[in-house]
Amino acid sequence: MIVILKKEHDTHQLDELRRWLEGQGISIQVNEGVQSTVLGLIGDTSAVDSDLIEALEIVETVKRVQEPYKKANRKFHPEDSVVDVSGVPVGGGHFAIMAGPCSVESPEQICTVAAAVKAAGANLLRGGAFKPRTSPYAFQGMRESGITLLLEAKKQTGLPVVTEIMDIAHIDAFADVDLIQVGARNMQNFELLKELGHSKKPILLKRGLSSTLQELLMSAEYIMAGGNENVILCERGIRTFETATRNTQDISAIPVVKELSHLPIIVDPSHATGFSRYVKPLALAAVAAGSDGLMIEVHNNPAKALCDGPQSLTPAQFTDAVQAVQRFLAVR
């Protein structure tokens, strides 16, 4: 349920209303927007008499919210949320470009790529340390030492870093990571999401391989319900019958999520398409559709990459793609 207050409202009466609702076991999220103040009521509101609330002098309207996601719901928070990633704002008109290799492989590799993506215009550095691989025989990532190298590249470039967590048991290694990624395969690892809800770090939540947008928003809700509202969503392609690309980039996810939620949403055209030659056109499609950012895999030598080489751009290809993205951003 949401309660929209009149523009000028008496704070005493508001306090009284809050106390009354809280007395019924309902928690309240107050969003003071430019246009209006919205109270989001979370909990079992079935016994709450909406007519009684609507009759109060300070109340403009009361609406029941059908969707199961509350904190992630735009009805609870009409304005776009801006997530601050160590000084880099994401969302609400602030466009983020996260780039770097699929996996951190060596000090030279990550530092070379970090410098190249920074020069091209990226504002966040990505690099996998704990890698979710389909095969147990494939490179599993450098794990803790991969994060150490990522932080070294951060020191050299000043770029905040994003890397994936697979198990909450590893959380100590993420103490200096700026943005913690939950990958597609863990989007519905609810115990992990609950734990990250207790963290203060921003979370990049990637859409599951076969997850609906409602499921994506419910996973965001798990993190937010725990008190961490710094969630950035990521459309990274979904499984369809099409085999020409690794996944199918769901462009419609962007306007749909923007309608349903206030959370920023970015697009990962690398994992969505699986081929470097499709990354630039799909990145531009994401910009045109209203994405708040991009995540793009870049490798100094894609042919030798230990993971996801075929979809990785060279620094030169990335520079070209970013220039095109910036031209599109200027006119959207």
Find the binder of ligand PEP among 71, 118, 154, 206 (CB under 6 A).
Answer: 206
The residue range among 29-37, 144-152, 178-186, 218-226 that interacts with ligand PEP, by the rule CB under 6 A, is 178-186
Q: What's the min distance (Å) between Cβ of 47 and ligand PEP?
A: 41
Find the binder of Mn ion among 221, 250, 292, 308 (CB under 5 A).
Answer: 308
Alpha-carbon distances of 248 from 1, 134, 236, 321, rounded to whole Å? 35, 19, 8, 20
- The whole-angstrom separation of Cα 228 and Cα 242 is 36
Alpha helices in 2-128 (DSSP H): 11-22, 50-54, 107-120
Any contact of residue 149 with Mn ion (CB under 5 A)? no
For the chain, give the longest Cα–Cα distance: 68
State which of positions 258-287 bind ligand PEP (CB under 6 A).
Answer: 268, 271
- The whole-angstrom separation of Cα 105 and Cα 235 is 25
The residue range among 31-39, 84-92, 177-185, 285-293 that interacts with ligand PEP, by the rule CB under 6 A, is 177-185
> Which one-letter amino acid corresponds to residue 307?
C
132 binds, among Mn ion, ligand PEP, none (CB under 5 to 8 A by kind): ligand PEP
- Exposed, middle or buried, 271 (CB in 10 Å: 0-12/13-18/19+)? buried
The residue range among 96-104, 165-173, 197-205, 248-256 that interacts with Mn ion, by the rule CB under 5 A, is 96-104
Find the binder of ligand PEP among 2, 4, 21, 102 (CB under 6 A).
Answer: 102
SS (H, E, C) 221-285: HHHHHCCCCCEEEEECCECCCCCCCCCECCCCHHHHHHHHECCCEEECHHHHHCCHHHHHHHHHH
Of 332, 294, 310, nearest in space to 96 by CA: 294
Q: What angle do CA 171, 157, 85 make, to 5 degrees?
A: 45
Any contact of residue 225 with Mn ion (CB under 5 A)? no
Contact, 165 vs 192, CB < 8 A?
A: yes
Q: What's the min distance (Å) between Cβ of 227 and ligand PEP?
A: 24
The residue range among 76-84, 153-161, 165-173, 183-191 that interacts with ligand PEP, by the rule CB under 6 A, is 183-191
Number of shown-chain residues binding ligand PEP (CB under 6 A): 10
206 binds, among Mn ion, ligand PEP, none (CB under 5 to 8 A by kind): ligand PEP
Any contact of residue 102 with Mn ion (CB under 5 A)? yes
Find the binder of ligand PEP among 132, 158, 227, 255 (CB under 6 A).
Answer: 132
Chain positions contacting ligand PEP, by CB under 6 A: 102, 128, 132, 183-185, 206, 236, 268, 271
